[in-house]
Amino acid sequence: MHPPLLLQLYRVLPDKAIAGEPRAFAKSLKRGLSQFRKAVQSRYFEGTLLRLLSAADPELRQAAALALGLTGSMESNAALAARLHDDDAAVRELAADALWSLWFKADTAHNNQVLQRLMQLPVHEESAQTVLAGFNALLTKASIFAEAYNQRAVVYYRLGRYAESIADCESVLRLNPSHFGAASGMGQCYMKLKKIRAALRSYRRAHRIHPHLDGVKEVIASLVKILGETGQS
């Protein structure tokens, strides 16, 4: 019995474990992913990929997560977020990468491009007004673009404007409750403000969304130790 076509397409992608020179691997992977994306787009509907995302075979779930990251829409957000709890580490990693991909292309093509341009601007005291003006203009036009709020939150954080960063993180999570990055970022802001209980709540929220997010479990344990056994004292 032949494996599903999606799995066949996934299995011919370059394998880093057996790759040679890093630049050659990167070039080969880029070419392979482009071919994979085109093949998926020509053969699969998003709904079909979502069904495969729940397949019993973890390798097929991996392939579906990768395919959705390359070709999917925000319609796949909740299903991919659920895979952050998957038993298979590769599925979790691919699902997280796919979510970031969806979040950055969640608005119009033009607004997505504007966001990418703003993210490349240097952020320091002298440039802050210009950078923030760009984000403000974008969010005036795209008021439900969650990732634009998230990236403005990053700018506020880098400028030491933690309360404003927290407000943007809250906007992100209202628009996209699956955004583990915003929940974790809010925890970092509260830590800077020395609001330990609020930081713990934010990190716990991030952990509920993405139980394997790097470092978060350890931070929670540390904060609980500071506050007491339950973190409530």
Could you read off the pLDDT of 63-78 as tens digits, one per residue?
999 999 999 999 999 9
Could you read off the pLDDT of 73-116 as tens digits, one per residue?
999 999 999 999 999 999 999 999 999 999 999 999 999 999 99
Query: Which residue, 100, 128, 163, sits at the end of a domain?
Result: 100
Query: Which residue, 70, 100, 130, sits at the end of a domain?
Result: 100
Asked if residue 232 is part of any domain, the answer here is: no
Do 54 and 117 sit in the same domain of this protein?
Answer: no
Q: Which of 204, 208, 210 is nearest to 223 (CA)?
A: 204
Per-residue pLDDT at 172 exceeds 80: yes
Per-residue pLDDT at 152 exceeds 80: yes
CATH number at residue 206: 1.25.40.10
Per-residue pLDDT at 231 exceeds 70: no
Report how many domains make up the chain.
2
Could you read off the pLDDT of 32-63 as tens digits, one per residue?
999 999 999 999 999 999 999 999 999 999 99
CATH number at residue 84: 1.25.10.10
Asked if residue 66 is part of any domain, the answer here is: yes
Do 76 and 132 sit in the same domain of this protein?
Answer: no
Per-residue pLDDT at 233 exceeds 50: no
Instruction: Tell me the pLDDT of the chain averaged across its residues.
Output: 94
Q: Which of 183, 227, 232, 178 is nearest to 203 (CA)?
A: 183
Give the domain range for residue 133.
109-227
Do 69 and 147 sit in the same domain of this protein?
Answer: no
Query: pLDDT value at position 18?
Result: 58
Do 211 and 128 sit in the same domain of this protein?
Answer: yes
For 24, 101, 104, 141, 194, the CA distances from 108, given in Å and listed in that order, are 33, 14, 10, 11, 38
Residue 191 in tokens: 């830590």
